[in-house]
Amino acid sequence: MKLSNHIGSSSTRKFLKTIGIFVIGGTLSLCQLANAQTFPSKPVTIVVPFTPGGGADNLARILVPRLNSLWGQSVIVEYRAGASGQIGADYVSKANPDGYTLMMATTAVINDKNVSKFVGISLVSADAYVLVVHPSLPVKNAADLIAYAKANPKKLTFGSSGIGAASHLSGELFKARAGIDMLHVPYKGTGPALNDLLANHIQLMFAPTQTAMSQIQNGRVKAIGVTGLKPIEALPNVPPVATSGLSGYDAIGWFGLLAHANTPPDIVKKLHDDIQKVMSMPEVRKAMNEKGAEPGNLTPVEFNKFIQQEQTKWTKLIKDANITIE
């Protein structure tokens, strides 16, 4: 039998096609493995979708020098603020899906319009926020604040890092549960909002603990409650809002590193493993704890499930409050 005739048979062509698929598939798997083993081979960018000085920036700055050392590559923090984090999110969603462009995301950034564009890599922190007021406001706890707001309708303003941010939604939940009216003033990040609180241009805000801690310690703002169901280690004497005026109130804000949804799974795993290695370093844990942040430890699968759960939780409030997120 001639070889050419044998190769020309239908069964042989199918066999060779199958072998080809296995060879190509195996080659791709080996290439992906090699890519993961050598990743990163060039600088990595972490996009912070807010202005400098906020919680996302503070946490990124803690991680960056250790990632620099671990990878032997530069890790660059790039600020792309605006539209409640959506400008930065849009930029990352259009970047090459190779793991070299990450985003320090927050509750505000991920919504039902863009959640499918990203994959969660590591939950950096998920913590209660702290309710801080200007020292001139005559209140000591959440109950006092509610009473003051009812006696002075529409006179209180609260700031946030942007529409749909955890700092915004925490305030809207407080308003709804307490039956009070306060004017919301959105900013392009927690830093500018906190600056206006210091200047008494706004009277209060629900701030990431790591952002507000230094101002609390120096007395420039007054902490009157935390948004979780129990006190936090960094502020043990500040009561939960739920036990000091508003039963059942519970809101947390999260920060996490995300990448383009099409980033190869092996690169996602490499990024996650290395980021968790950094967050387990004693000096990193200490730096985060001092700012009121507890390092996260979810796997990528668990983190993506968490993101979906958080999105579902806040959807009803967003609709009920007629909040429009760009």
CATH of the domain spanning 43-127+253-320, picked from 3.40.50.1970, 3.40.190.150, 3.30.2010.30, 2.40.50.140:
3.40.190.150
Q: What is the pLDDT of residue 326?
A: 61
Mean pLDDT of 66-71: 97
Provide the β-strand partners of residue 259: 119
Give the tokens for residue 151. Answer: 């006696």
The label of the residue with tokens 């169901």 reads: 229
Q: How far apart are CA 294 and CA 189, in angstroms?
A: 21
Asked, colleague to colleague, whether 43-127+253-320 and 131-251 share their fold, the answer is yes
Q: What is the rounded average pLDDT for all residues in the chain?
A: 88
Give the tokens for residue 284. Answer: 């990193």
Examine the pLDDT at 16 and tell me if it is beyond 70. Answer: no
Tens of pLDDT, residues 285-305: 999 988 778 899 999 999 999
Give which of 141, 121, 125, 113 is closest to 54, Cα–Cα.
Answer: 125
User: Sign of the C-alpha dihedral, residues 310, 315, 317, 323?
Assistant: positive
Tens of pLDDT, residues 132-148: 999 999 999 999 999 99
Q: What is the pLDDT of residue 204?
A: 98
Domain positions in the chain are 43-127+253-320, 131-251
Tens of pLDDT, residues 208-222: 888 899 999 999 999
- How far apart, in Å, do the first and last CA atoms of the chain sit? 70
Are 150 and 180 spatial neighbours (Cβ–Cβ below 8 Å)? yes
Examine the pLDDT at 312 and tell me if it is beyond 50. Answer: yes
What top-level class would CATH report for the domain 131-251? alpha beta
